Amino acid sequence: MTGRPTPRVEIRIDKLVDNALALSSLCGSRGIHFTAVTKAVCGSPRVAAALRACGIRSLGDSRIPNLRRMRESGLNAEYMLIRSPAPSEADVAVDWADVSLNTEIRVMRQLARAARKRGTLHRVVLMIELGDLREGILPSEIDEVVSETIRLDGVELAGIGTNLACLSGVRPTAEKMRELCSIADRLERRHGVKLQYVSGGNSANYQWLVSTPDPGRINHLRVGESMLLGCDTLTRKPIPGMQTDVFTLVAEVIEIKTKPSQPYGEICQDAFGHRPSLENRGDRRRAILAIGRQDVEPAALTPKMPADIIGASSDHLVLDATETDLHVGAEVKFEMGYSALLRAMTSRYVAKTYADDADWGDAADVRVPDHAEGRGALRA
């Protein structure tokens, strides 16, 4: 027992900085800048300050309260809302986001109205559907949307983008990127606009990024998971040279008992509608930890010790601890996949602690690579 709260997520800011600098250098060497996506850390000002200290000017989040949290912390950055605001959110979107991703002209009319009331200009990036079937304007309809967008007083067409590999797992291939570049060229010619952003996607673009000889018009990505977890999101394999242990989940043992490995009695559905099927391995030493599905996604956890996850309910995580010397009060550490990180950082019942006390709000101690800003860098 350490006296520190459990369950908790331990965050290594120094390792996060390593990842952010590595990605800045990689993207910048190809003339691409990126928006650092903070939704998986709920807009943590400490994380955001570290990213700003790395020379990253743009911070993105899907939740307006997270943008507000970072902006109110005093961080000078460009703030991007990476989920289209609902019509009811137009006013607060303009208050806390400098730019937002959009697909619906009705929403952009609301944004324009809110911006005019405030005497400001809100920038929009139009998202184009290229096959993943989440958000996006069909390519055949984009000209009509652009025509109306550029006539709106209060919004500025800042660029176009696409999203792949999030809902349907569609790979961001060179062909998809060329299609987006072609659409950008066509829109500029037909409508007499200059697109600041041609946003090719998200962390799933890593394989394309390292393999393409020429990114073409693509000058922007929205990067979260690969920066936070150091992995290629298409394969979940570590990216060479990246830190994969920025975040560690720690939970405490509240029971150790030797029990049968198979439940006994009439089996029906569990609390989450599943019908468990467990192999009979005889009596096994089982540890119960004080964390559950309300706090984390068990399937995305990997214990950092020789133990297997048997199952979880709302508030309990059960391990086969036969090969360990765990005791009541012991702490168990876990690697987290993206879904586990997202839920643990969102849970109010999981403490968030920082493993070092460096003040990353001061950029003087952080080396910024030569290519950190990239082509098409954001305005200061």
Just list the catalytic residues. Answer: 39
User: 84-92, long-range: CB within 8 Å, 24+ apart, which pairs?
Assistant: 84/127, 84/135, 85/111, 89/64, 90/114, 91/117, 92/64, 92/68
Q: Which residues contact 74 (CB under 8 A, 6 or more apart)?
A: none
Alpha carbon distance 374, 5 (integer Å): 41
Alpha carbon distance 243, 43 (integer Å): 20
Alpha carbon distance 345, 368 (integer Å): 28
Is residue 19 within 8 A of residue 227, CB to CB? The reply is yes
At 190, which helix (H) or strand (E)? Answer: helix 174-191
Is residue 25 within 8 A of residue 56, CB to CB? The reply is no
- φ, ψ of residue 28 to 5 degrees: the values are -60, -35
Per-residue tokens: 316: 């309990």
User: 173-180, long-range: CB within 8 Å, 24+ apart, which pairs?
Assistant: 173/208, 174/208, 174/211, 174/212, 176/130, 176/131, 177/208, 177/212, 177/215, 177/216, 177/218, 178/216, 179/130, 179/139, 180/128, 180/130, 180/217, 180/218
Neighbouring CB atoms inside 10 A of 135's CB total 19
Per-residue tokens: 175: 């062909």
In angstroms, what is the C-alpha Rg of the chain?
A: 23
Residue 378 gets which letter from DSSP?
P
Per-residue tokens: 81: 């809302």
Burial 332-366 (b: 16+ CB within 10 A, else e): bebbbbbebbbbbbebeebebebeeeeebeeeeeb
